[in-house]
A and B are shown apart, each in its own frame.
Chain A
Amino acid sequence: MRNALFGPAMVVIMTGGTAMAQPANPTYSLNGTPGLLEMPTAQSAAQGTFALTVSYVEGFGRTTLNFQVTDRLSLSLRYGFIDLYDDPTSQTLESEFARGFDLRYRLNDETAFLPSVAIGLQDFLTPGRLGAEYVVASKTVGDNLTVTAGLGWGGLATRNGFTNPFSGLQTRPAFDVAEPEGQLTSDQWFHGDAALFGGLEYQINDKWGVKAEYSSSAYPETPFKPAIKTDSPYNLGLTYRPAEGVQLGLGYLYGNSVAVSGSLSLNANNRPGMSGRESAPAPVNVRPANDRSWDQDAAPPHALRSALATLLEREGITVTQLAISGDTARLRYINTRYRSQAQAMGRAARMMTQVMPAAIEVFTLEPEAAGIPLSATTIRRSDLEQFENRPGAAEVVYQRADFGDADLAPGLTDLPAGTPAFAWGLGPYFTLIPAASGGSVTVDAGLSLRGVYRLQPNLVLSGAIGQSLINAAKKDPVPDSTPDIQNVRTDAVYYGDDGVPVLQNLALAYYARPGRDLYGRVSGGYLEPMFGGISAELLWKPVQSRLGLGIEVNYAAQRDTDMLFGFDEYDYDTVTGHVSAYYDFGNGYHTQLDVGRYLAGDWGATLSLDREFDNGVRVGGYVTQTDMAYTDFGDGSYNKGVRVTIPQDFLTGKATQSAFATTLQTQIGDGGARLAVDGRLYDLVRDAHTADLSDTWGRFWR
């Protein structure tokens, strides 16, 4: 049956884009940034690339998350365990925990004659044990060879240093142990001696490459700096990339040590799940041109609702209400399957063409969550009929749709039939607790049994019981270095360390729409592992606005460390709360500012900035500054962290709302600590509002 004549036509070729002459993806150094072995290059990964690199050489293990924010700007967060020289340097401190941030900016694109040049800051917050700055140039020669030369300062100028070419920056201040951690080391940047470094990288084929570098880091014996002995300035390496996004490396460093590394990279603009693999939607059912009738005896409204509900349930869409008046059908529904609300909306609208009488011309779609309607999108049925599968269909429907607040008049609806009021789940949990004292990280992992009971659509009781499997050993208390400050977070390691099941949370949450553009929430109970109390929140967020404003007030009491029902151990309660502003810049950047009072009674603000890709991949960071003294806070000075979210459908292409999310905090201190309440309003409502709908509107017809 197979026809041999099909042979020549078998390949659809994507020209342009990928085929255009673009530099191959750079390899990653032991430091987890595009580079040689320990020396940086001026290369950049493709915009939107995350890379996680783990590397080890004797005395120094490190894990780096590198993110290429723009074509030219990249940021890195590094955790490491490193041997340091003590004071005196005759002794060493073994496997000290170190954190650091890097930043690199590439100044130009490489041309036929000019190299690309980049400027970088390495480990630029105190204590900055690897602190260094550099200017570096890289040039490709032919297809496979890259030549790099650079000028380094600080840690990159400890071999054959010479007088700083910038005459005003001759002396680099010595590292001050007393300085609180997490401050910008700007007084050191590009100060002191400079030194030259350089190297070559040759890509033998798609998979194998070799590197050689002359390192300007000699690791001299300096108190609290890396205790690494070097016998040679030359480092050699081999890289193997067996698959896209995977790099394995082997190196010979300092003339005396073997180094190994592994990198996994992922480009947020290059979705492994492609356009998604979910099954086809129902097609549009086109009405005959001369029929705009509705036989109410044959198709009474309750029957339409029942039929539509049954058909949409197959699409993961739960119908809660259907109201028909005049030529308009208004559907309220819960999207339980699709990450994109626009996609759920498109599927609901097409199914309505299958069920609704021909007289109905206008569809109003109201997504609902936590029992409250989030928005209303009004679409003309004739547009669906006219533009289905036509080029420009998504754009036309978007332009002609009306976006606004949901109609609040009818009040809340009944529990949808067929949806069980009780749901439960058993799954693993995993928590990293970066302890404030001792600079160590504690891992807590185990099983969590969660239950949700929906008393009303908008009144939900939820709870979780956890059983720790790792870290189920009693912790010995360490002396409290800041007795004046309540240990609102620094005692986290003592919570649930008895090895018996604990109550992670058990709370009742009530959601409401107090008025147009207004959303409300009241939660009470054991809100989080360390605190219980009452939390009330009000959010103003017009559907078409990029700005949202919120206020939250909580009364919280600290729970006992056995994580049962008591509040006696600490006898600490407080009023905490914030006013918050949320703004979507519309170009993939999203920001949030919270100003208010934190759990330990300190006043301050948290600023968050996230880069959000329209496919749901998010990477962001936040900083919190409060009026608590740096010394009281502990050695992190202020709260800061990095968070990454990758939707599951990004990886698999299967329609789901699940996502992998993690927050890497550099430090948990008692300052700038917020109550961890579930179900905050902004995250609940935003994906049904115009800004988020427009981000994924391409999925309306999918």
Chain B
Amino acid sequence: MGTVLAMKINSWICAAAAMALVACGPLNEDTAASRIMGQATARIMGTPPPASTGLGITQEQVLANPGQFMRVNIRNFDQWDTMAQTGQNGRRVTWVNGNNISLTLQDGIMVATRGLPRDLMGAETAETRQAIRAGGGIAQRTHEYITDVDAISSELLQCRIASQGAEAIEMLHETHNSVRFEEKCAGEKLEFTNVYWVNARGTIIRSLQAVSPDAGYLQIDVF
């Protein structure tokens, strides 16, 4: 069933996963290759229950596997999607959905996207995270984008982070206590306001973060 589902999804990850399953069969001779490929595919896809892909995850599975999945709403498409972990580079974790849109977070703050109309190619956001931990403050961010002529444009943003007090939020029918933070950022060409809901342990459990003017905002729920 997982294979059938995967075939419907036009993405190399799922197709590669399907092929990895096929490659495990007795007809396959190059077992070392299929093992290496299987390892790579598993790494890229994370290690969720093997028959499922990012798209086929139920709410129960999300809740039963804390840390494995995020739910993301790409506000411009107004569509909820489940994302699974696909890679980790230091403190930065990359997540991918069934449509092969990926999102990289560092301690809950978005540092890159891939597959959106105007991706965030890379970012430095550590000061924002520190300001949230400190209960508010100022931060400087750097964002990079691909221009319409395939160059990289870098935006330096000045941001102000402020707590807006306690707020109870509901995620998949469970209520969580949180403190709401708002971050107002402005640069030469860009202006946006991000919102973060931080739980008692200091984890960002929900956020609304700007990608770019063309891609809009993402709502990210962490479980």
| A389 B150 Cβ-Cβ under 8 A | no
- Answer yes or no: A391 CB below 8 A from chain B CBs: yes
* CB-CB under 8 A for A15 and B189, given A303-B36, A394-B152: yes
Instruction: State how many angstroms separate the Cβ of A388 from the closest Cβ of chain B.
Output: 5
Partner among A276, A284, A303, A698 whose Cβ is within 8 Å of the Cβ of B87: A284
Partner among A278, A281, A304, A699 whose Cβ is within 8 Å of the Cβ of B150: A699
**Residue numbers in A under 8 Å from B163 (CB-CB):** none
| Complex: A477 Cα to B124 Cα, angstroms | 72
| A283 B102 Cβ-Cβ under 8 A | yes
| B146 A10 Cβ-Cβ under 8 A | no
Instruction: State how many angstroms separate the Cβ of B58 from the closest Cβ of chain A.
Output: 16
Within 8 A of A (CB), among B10-62: 11-13, 15-16, 19, 23, 30, 32-37, 40-41, 43-44
- Give the nearest-CB partner of B117 in chain A: A274
- Answer yes or no: A298 CB below 8 A from chain B CBs: yes
**Residue numbers in A under 8 Å from B112 (CB-CB):** 389
Instruction: State how many angstroms separate the Cβ of B84 from the closest Cβ of chain A.
Output: 12
| Complex: A622 Cα to B89 Cα, angstroms | 51
| B88 A286 Cβ-Cβ under 8 A | yes
Within 8 A of A (CB), among B131-174: 142-152, 154, 167, 169-170
- Give the nearest-CB partner of B101 in chain A: A280
Interface stretch (choices A310-318, A408-416, A636-644): A310-318
**Which of B96, B114, B154 is most buried by chain A, counting CB atoms within 10 A of its CB?**
B114
- Give the nearest-CB partner of A340 in chain B: B150
**Residue numbers in A under 8 Å from B186 (CB-CB):** 15
**Which of B40, B90, B188 is most buried by chain A, counting CB atoms within 10 A of its CB?**
B40
| B208 A9 Cβ-Cβ under 8 A | yes
| B115 A13 Cβ-Cβ under 8 A | no
| A8 B193 Cβ-Cβ under 8 A | yes
Partner among A307, A340, A699 whose Cβ is within 8 Å of the Cβ of B36: A307
- Answer yes or no: A12 CB below 8 A from chain B CBs: yes
* CB-CB under 8 A for A12 and B44, given A1-B170, A285-B87: no
- Give the nearest-CB partner of A309 in chain B: B33
- Answer yes or no: A680 CB below 8 A from chain B CBs: no
Task: Write out, one digit per residue, whether chain A residues 268-307 have a CB within 8 A of any chain B CB (1) or not (0).
Answer: 0111001111111111111000000000001110111111
| B88 A280 Cβ-Cβ under 8 A | no
- Answer yes or no: B99 CB below 8 A from chain A CBs: yes
| B122 A354 Cβ-Cβ under 8 A | no
- Answer yes or no: B86 CB below 8 A from chain A CBs: yes
- Answer yes or no: A695 CB below 8 A from chain B CBs: yes
Within 8 A of B (CB), among A646-702: 653, 695-699, 701-702
- Give the nearest-CB partner of B37 in chain A: A307
Partner among B34, B86, B115, B195 whose Cβ is within 8 Å of the Cβ of A307: B34
- Answer yes or no: B129 CB below 8 A from chain A CBs: no
- Answer yes or no: A221 CB below 8 A from chain B CBs: no
- Answer yes or no: B192 CB below 8 A from chain A CBs: yes
| A391 B122 Cβ-Cβ under 8 A | yes
| B195 A310 Cβ-Cβ under 8 A | no
Task: Write out, one digit per residue, whether chain B residues 183-223 have a CB within 8 A of any chain A CB (1) or not (0).
Answer: 00011111111110000000000001011111011010000
Instruction: State how many angstroms separate the Cβ of B83 from the closest Cβ of chain A.
Output: 11
| B30 A385 Cβ-Cβ under 8 A | no
- Answer yes or no: B82 CB below 8 A from chain A CBs: no
* CB-CB under 8 A for A389 and B104, given A9-B193, A279-B11, A285-B43: yes
| Complex: A299 Cα to B38 Cα, angstroms | 12
**Residue numbers in B under 8 Å from A276 (CB-CB):** 146
| B213 A14 Cβ-Cβ under 8 A | yes
**Residue numbers in A under 8 Å from B119 (CB-CB):** 275, 702
- Give the nearest-CB partner of A284 in chain B: B89
- Answer yes or no: B72 CB below 8 A from chain A CBs: no
- Answer yes or no: B111 CB below 8 A from chain A CBs: yes
Partner among A12, A279, A392 whose Cβ is within 8 Å of the Cβ of B100: A279
- Answer yes or no: A3 CB below 8 A from chain B CBs: yes
- Answer yes or no: B121 CB below 8 A from chain A CBs: yes
Task: Write out, one digit per residue, whether chain A residues 162-182 have a CB within 8 A of any chain B CB (1) or not (0).
Answer: 000000000000000000000
- Answer yes or no: A469 CB below 8 A from chain B CBs: no
- Give the nearest-CB partner of B11 in chain A: A279
- Give the nearest-CB partner of B36 in chain A: A307
Task: Write out, one digit per residue, whether chain A residues 374-392 have a CB within 8 A of any chain B CB (1) or not (0).
Answer: 0000000000010011111
- Answer yes or no: B94 CB below 8 A from chain A CBs: yes
Instruction: State how many angstroms separate the Cβ of B87 from the closest Cβ of chain A.
Output: 3
**Residue numbers in A under 8 Å from B189 (CB-CB):** 14-17
* CB-CB under 8 A for A13 and B190, given A275-B145, A307-B40, A702-B114: yes
Instruction: State how many angstroms separate the Cβ of A444 from the closest Cβ of chain B.
Output: 36
**Residue numbers in B under 8 Å from A568 (CB-CB):** none
**Residue numbers in A under 8 Å from B44 (CB-CB):** 282-283, 354
- Answer yes or no: A615 CB below 8 A from chain B CBs: yes
**Residue numbers in B under 8 Å from A9 (CB-CB):** 182, 192-195, 208, 217
**Residue numbers in B under 8 Å from A395 (CB-CB):** 152
Partner among A283, A695, A702 whose Cβ is within 8 Å of the Cβ of B146: A702
| Complex: A17 Cα to B37 Cα, angstroms | 46
Partner among A280, A354, A698 whose Cβ is within 8 Å of the Cβ of B152: A698
Instruction: State how many angstroms separate the Cβ of B112 from the closest Cβ of chain A.
Output: 4
| B123 A275 Cβ-Cβ under 8 A | no
Instruction: State how many angstroms separate the Cβ of A277 from the closest Cβ of chain B.
Output: 6
| A283 B89 Cβ-Cβ under 8 A | yes
**Residue numbers in B under 8 Å from A695 (CB-CB):** 150
**Which of B99, B117, B154, B219 is most buried by chain A, counting CB atoms within 10 A of its CB?**
B117
| Complex: A682 Cα to B40 Cα, angstroms | 37
**Residue numbers in B under 8 Å from A5 (CB-CB):** 167, 195
| B12 A315 Cβ-Cβ under 8 A | yes
* CB-CB under 8 A for A12 and B115, given A314-B15, A389-B92, A702-B121: no
Instruction: State how many angstroms separate the Cβ of A355 from the closest Cβ of chain B.
Output: 5
- Answer yes or no: A252 CB below 8 A from chain B CBs: no
| B40 A13 Cβ-Cβ under 8 A | no
| A12 B36 Cβ-Cβ under 8 A | no
| A303 B32 Cβ-Cβ under 8 A | yes
* CB-CB under 8 A for A280 and B15, given A3-B169, A310-B37, A385-B89: no
| B208 A269 Cβ-Cβ under 8 A | no
**Residue numbers in B under 8 Å from A697 (CB-CB):** 150
Instruction: State how many angstroms separate the Cβ of A271 from the closest Cβ of chain B.
Output: 4
Instruction: State how many angstroms separate the Cβ of B155 from the closest Cβ of chain A.
Output: 9
Instruction: State how many angstroms separate the Cβ of A14 from the closest Cβ of chain B.
Output: 4
**Residue numbers in A under 8 Å from B115 (CB-CB):** 277-280
| Complex: A666 Cα to B30 Cα, angstroms | 59
* CB-CB under 8 A for A614 and B87, given A10-B75, A391-B124: no
Q: Using A302-B32, A351-B40 as known contacts, list a sample of 8 further A-B pairs with CB atoms less than 8 Å apart, ordered by residue number in A.
A: A9-B208, A275-B119, A283-B44, A283-B87, A286-B90, A311-B12, A355-B36, A613-B149
Can you name 16 A-B residue pairings with CB atoms under 8 Å? A6-B75, A6-B195, A9-B208, A10-B217, A16-B189, A277-B116, A277-B117, A279-B114, A286-B88, A307-B40, A389-B112, A391-B123, A393-B121, A394-B144, A614-B150, A615-B149
Q: Give the 3 A-B CB pairs with smallest separation, nearest first.
A: A314-B12, A283-B87, A303-B32
Name A residues whose Cβ lies closer than 8 Å to a Cβ of B: 1, 3, 5-6, 8-17, 269-271, 274-286, 298-300, 302-307, 310-311, 314-315, 340, 351, 354-355, 385, 388-395, 613-615, 653, 695-699, 701-702
Name B residues whose Cβ lies closer than 8 Å to a Cβ of A: 11-13, 15-16, 19, 23, 30, 32-37, 40-41, 43-44, 75, 86-90, 92, 94, 96, 99-102, 104, 111-112, 114-119, 121-124, 142-152, 154, 167, 169-170, 182, 186-195, 208, 210-214, 216-217, 219
